[in-house]
Structure formats: C-alpha cells, structure tokens
C-alpha cells in the first residue's frame, strides 16, 4: 500500500498545447478511498494514467511513499489497474484468470489457491471458477477483471477506471460494498475514476471534482454537497442539481428580485456576477406564501419523493418534496428556506 503524492503535476499532450491536466499538488493517504469525478474529457483518466505509469507527465512528479516514480513504467510501480472494458484472458478459466497475476510472480501454489478462492467468494465467482472466461456475460467478465486486480496483496494501489459501467445497477451497489470491505480489511489505497456522482459519493472518503483539466474541489462527500466551491460542482453533484438564481446588490445584501432570498454581502466584494444557490432538499413547500412563490411547471416522481419544478421570473427552481401533495402543472405554490441553506457565489465561485 502507498501514500500517493502528486507534486506540481501537470500534463499537455504536445509542446505548447493547452494543459489536459492543469497544475495541481495533492496527497492521497495510504489506505484511503478516492474518486475522480467529472464529465468526459475533464482530465480524470489523464491523471489516473499518470499515476499508473501508462503516461509520463510533462511537468511535476509522482511519489509513492516519498519515492519518485515519475519516470518508472507501469510494470515497475506495483499498481493494479481495472479498466472500463473488461480485460480477460479468453483461453483461460475464471480461476486461471484470477490466479494469473500471482502465478507470474511465482507464488506458492497453496497460497495462490487460497487467495483466488477468497476473492472469488467475495465477488460471487466461486461457482464460475472452472468455467471458460470467454463464456461469461459482460458483467461477469468485469467481475473477473476486478478480481484479478484485487487478488494481489502487495499492490501499492488499485486504480479503477470506470469499471462499473457495464454492470447492472444492483450489482454496482454490491460491488461498491465489496470494494469498501476490502479496503477496510486490507487498507489498500483505491482510486476510482467515474462520471457517476452516486458511485463517487457512496464509494470514496474523498471526492476530487474535475472540470476542463482542473481540480475544482476536493473533499468529503458531505462537504461537496453542502458547500460546493463552484457552481459547476453544485450542478454536477446532487439530483436534482443545486438551484442557482441571479442576484443583485441591494443595501448591502445579495437579493434575488421578487423573492425573499437574500444574504449579506461581504465587505469589499464586487457586486457583479452575483448568484444565490440552494439545494432542492433544503426547501419546504408551504402552500401559497413563503420565501418564494411560483407556478408549477413540471413534476415527476423519484420513489417516495416528488420533484416539483417552480417557474418564476427570476428563474426555475426544483424542490424535493414528499410524494402525494396533490400539485399539478399550473398550480401556484411556494416554499420556505432558511438563510443558513443559502450560498453566495460570484462569477461561479463560492463567496459565503
């Protein structure tokens, strides 16, 4: 296992080209679980490939437990990497696939068998150990690929590059649970790349949100949910996303016109580009009067909850409410919101 330090790290794919990964300095503790979260093309796979040694950065260093591994290849870093498309040896059985990394290292046969059986049991692969790998379904192949990464006990880290994409939703839940149990038992450093906020927030102790090659916020899932550092993070995390409404400076406060939404302005803050934001979960429907009133534009069900979209001249907002309230499109409704649930942004970045 290893502490991973990214020191003044950056990467451009050609001299003079824009950074695919903008300069950053970050340390991931030994045995932690991390998620790189962001849309396609944001730089998360570039970062992962630099850590694994598949790509050498154009700037900065990568250190494992203080040792500079920047110019070492993937085979010299003792990394296990699991990719989005399952990588299996089609001519082997499931058991042989799982054992392959240990066989290559010349481990004793009894220990290899014991380790393969233990990982197979955790992943539900025990009944398939003697089956040819080329006869498996797509999600079973990915389980084998994951198992081959987990079977080694001496890895510095396990890097997971969107490995759950081909797996059905219920199995995704089970795999996240299994990965966390393995992390808790063996304290192996795990880094998951994903565009799925649910995967990131339920798997990782720390989530690193990326956009356009930049790390825009890193922190615990609750911190990212409660205090998004940028409007991008507020849009990307949460379902529905955070509500944002343009605000004006009025008598020392940021005010959304035509509503009761307002916050004090910090001293000296320029008053252009002001926006107030709040989570749909923090608002409470209150009949015909409240902090903000609007017309029900749309509504839809999400299990026991109902998502209500209210139209207002200041903009549309979405609220999460218990199902069965009896609202219909065209109705007038209002909500209340505590000031403590409001966030103030200027030019897309959190101010208060």
Query: How many C-beta neighbours within 10 Å does residue 334 have?
Result: 19
Domain boundaries, the chain: 4-232, 239-350
DSSP 8-state class, residue 221: H
**b/e sequence 111-147, b meaning 16+ C-beta within 10 Å:** ebeebbeebbebbebeebbeeebeebeeebbbbbbbb
| Model confidence at 297: pLDDT above 90 | yes
pLDDT of residue 1: 66
Nearest to 209 by CA among 237, 238, 242, 241: 237
Can you give the pTM of this predicted structure?
Answer: 0.88
Of the chain, the percentage scoring pLDDT greater than 90 comes to: 70
Compute the distance between CA of residue 228 and CA of residue 344 in angstroms, rounded to an integer: 10
pLDDT of residue 168: 75
Going by DSSP bridges, is the β-strand pair 157-161/79-82 parallel, antiparallel, or unpaired? parallel
Tokens of 185: 């038992």
CA atoms within 13 A on the CB side of 276: 25
CA atoms within 13 A on the CB side of 107: 19
CATH class of the region 239-350: mainly beta
Tokens of 54: 């598949």
Q: What are 9's strand-pairing partners?
A: 24
Please enumerate in sequence order all residues whose Cβ is within 8 A of that of 251, keeping only pairs 6 or more positions apart, or say none: none
R_g of the chain computed on alpha carbons = 24
- Least confident range of 69-73, 131-135, 179-183, 345-349: 179-183
Please state, rounded to an integer, the average pLDDT across all residues of the chain. 92
Q: Which residue has the higher pLDDT, 253 or 154?
A: 253
Query: How many C-beta neighbours within 10 Å does residue 211 have?
Result: 19
Q: Does domain 4-232 have CATH number 3.40.50.300?
A: yes
For residue range 96-119, list pLDDT tens digits in order. 999 999 998 888 999 999 999 999
pLDDT of residue 213: 95
Compute the distance between CA of residue 8 and CA of residue 120 in angstroms, rounded to an integer: 40
């Amino acid at each position: 296992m290893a502490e991973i330090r990214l020191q003044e790290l950056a990467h451009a794919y050609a001299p003079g080209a824009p950074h695919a990964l903008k300069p950053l300095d970050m340390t991931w503790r030994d045995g932690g679980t991390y998620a790189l979260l962001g849309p396609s093309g944001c730089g998360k796979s570039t970062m992962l490939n630099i850590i694994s040694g598949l790509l050498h950065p154009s700037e900065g260093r990568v250190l494992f437990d203080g040792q500079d591994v920047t110019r070492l290849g993937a085979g010299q870093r003792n990394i296990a990497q699991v990719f989005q498309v399952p990588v299996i040896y089609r001519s082997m059985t499931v058991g042989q696939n799982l054992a392959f990394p240990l066989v290559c290292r010349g481990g004793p046969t009894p220990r290899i068998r014991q380790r393969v059986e233990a990982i197979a049991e955790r992943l539900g692969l025990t009944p398939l150990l003697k089956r040819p790998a080329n006869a498996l379904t797509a999600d079973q192949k990915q389980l084998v690929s994951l198992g081959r990464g987990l079977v080694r006990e001496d890895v510095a880290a396990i890097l997971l590059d969107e490995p759950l994409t081909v797996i059905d939703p219920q199995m995704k839940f089970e795999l996240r649970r299994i990965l966390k149990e393995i992390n808790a038992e063996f304290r192996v450093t795990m880094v998951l790349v994903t565009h799925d906020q649910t995967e990131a927030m339920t798997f990782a102790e720390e989530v690193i949100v990326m956009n356009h090659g930049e790390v825009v916020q890193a922190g615990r899932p609750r911190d990212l949910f409660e205090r998004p550092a940028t409007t991008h993070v507020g849009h990307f995390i949460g379902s529905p996303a955070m509500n944002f409404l343009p605000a004006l400076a009025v008598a020392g406060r940021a005010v959304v016109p035509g509503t009761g939404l307002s916050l004090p302005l910090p001293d000296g803050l320029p008053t252009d580009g002001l926006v107030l934001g709040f989570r749909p979960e923090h608002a409470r429907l209150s009949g015909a009067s409240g902090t903000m009133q609007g017309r029900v534009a749309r509504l839809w069900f999400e299990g026991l909850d109902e998502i209500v979209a209210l139209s207002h001249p200041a903009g549309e907002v979405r609220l999460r409410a218990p199902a069965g309230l009896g609202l219909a499109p065209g109705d007038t409704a209002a909500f209340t919101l505590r000031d403590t649930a409001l966030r103030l942004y200027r030019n897309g970045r959190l101010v208060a």
